[in-house]
Amino acid sequence: MGRLFGTDGVRGVANTELTGEMAYQLGRAGAYVLTKEKKHAPRILVAMDTRISGDMLESALVAGICSVGAHAVLAGVIPTPAVAYLVRHYRLDAGVMISASHNPVEYNGIKFFSNQGYKLSDELEEEIEDIVLSRMEVLPCPIGSGIGTKSYAEDALDDYIAFLRDTTKERFRGIKVALDCANGAAFKAAPITMLELGAQLCIIHNEPDGTNINEKCGSTHMEDLAALVKENGADIGFAFDGDADRCLAVDENGELIDGDKILAICGCEMKAKGELKKDTVVGTVMSNLGLTIMGREQGISVLQANVGDRYVLECMLAEEYNLGGEQSGHIIFLDYNTTGDGVLTAIQLLTVMKRSGKKASELAKIMEVMPQVLVNARVNNTKKNDYMRVPEIKLAIEALQEKFSGEGRVLIRTSGTEPLVRVMIEGKDKEAMEREAKKLASFIEDKLQ
């Protein structure tokens, strides 16, 4: 990957790593690269999540966009998938989301979308990066009437909610739904949509103040949602991340329904209705082995893309599949949207519940989760991609892979957004897996400081 772009845009601590100056430069270079073939003054949608640094970065980004003669259309606080949809709906030339997704409040990020609502290819990101780092002189500097302007998409949230509402023919009357909005971008979109679809709601973490996004809540902290479901007798609960492009669920007993299980439930429903293209679901190398076993039993092929919903999408587009996603809750329903969409995912899962008349716990039994252990090694960010170049680490990984061969698997990968090397072991003996994963993670931490 490039020096600026990770697996999901440009991300860093706001005002030190991701500065206003960087946002301005990205606005200029991104607007130029994405719209240079246009014969008209391009229009670019700009949105953000609820982070306090959003206003600062939005101002700088918009200044950059306008400085190269493009027009910025501000949508305010909406989910990331709303950008992907609205760029197409409004027939705009590109879109930008200011968000660091599930990361803590001090982080922020900038991710671009094409006019078709897709995250950018590596090639386009590298072109933007090359300009920012070494070729800013190629950018135009119009004057007078050639300078861009900003306007406001005042109906952005309403238009996105109308889109979500139309993705199902069911109405959820009689279903009690718990929501954890992570004090993030879904804090309006999710509750309003669910209410319009007839669900009865109980809601937590939907009062963002600029500093509490993802703070012990949302899809990375499921405890509060599980408690809310059980305390209120809800039929199911959904938790989103900060920009609402991912969703995890809990059943009526507070038990986790992760992204793999959501893929299994929705995949089987789509296959039964003849809607699952090529009877195939696209997961990732981190998908639980239980998803593959479920597929074998249900006549569904389960493919494994690289980690990152952009790579899941690339696989889906290349082979014309229409369902894919990650264990973390990025689920792509390509018949409806071009990226992971947390609220859409909740709607599709509720649709299966309504049609089947089954409890969430019963639906989740379609897939048995194999024990899986994930331990993060926190390392020097500049060294995280070099772990296989350290002979001692390479030998330790190979020894561990040999130890679990035949009865499980070992997967080592770096985080695209944080200074982490992830050690994942899947198998039967959870105690042994935890012991070995912690041992290897500690060894990697020592070697990569």
Do the beta carbons of residue 157 and residue 32 sit within 8 Å?
Answer: no
- Strand-by-strand arrangement of the 9-13 sheet: 5-6, 9-13, 107-113, 94-98, 43-48, 71-77, 150-152
Residue found by looking up tokens 């069911």 in the block: 170
Eight-state DSSP code of residue 137: G
Cα dist from 328 to 115, 131, 246, 349, whole Å? 27, 33, 7, 16
SS3 label, residue 258: coil
Do the beta carbons of residue 177 and residue 239 sit within 8 Å?
Answer: no
Partnered with residue 73 across adjacent β-strands are 45, 151
Q: b/e per residue, 346-369, with b = 16+ CB within 10 A?
A: bbbbbbbbbeeeeebbebbebbeb
Report residue 239 as tokens.
Answer: 């938790």
Eight-state DSSP code of residue 277: G
- Annotated active-site residue 328? The verdict is no
Report residue 2 as tokens.
Answer: 């490039």
Name the residue type at position 52. Answer: I
- 420 vs 7: CA distance, rounded Å: 13
- 233 vs 176: CA distance, rounded Å: 8
Report residue 50 as tokens.
Answer: 């609820």
Eight-state DSSP code of residue 336: T
* H helix intervals, 99-198: 122-134, 156-165, 189-196
- 221 vs 185: CA distance, rounded Å: 16
Listing DSSP states for 347-413 in one string gives HHHHHHHHHH---HHHHHTTSPPPPEEEEEEE--TTTGGGGGGSHHHHHHHHHHHHHHTTT-EEEEE
Do the beta carbons of residue 176 and residue 205 sit within 8 Å?
Answer: no
Eight-state DSSP code of residue 100: -
Q: Which of 53, 67, 99, 101 is the catalytic position?
A: 101
- 323 vs 263: CA distance, rounded Å: 8
Report residue 249 as tokens.
Answer: 């669920």
Active centre residues (catalytic): 101
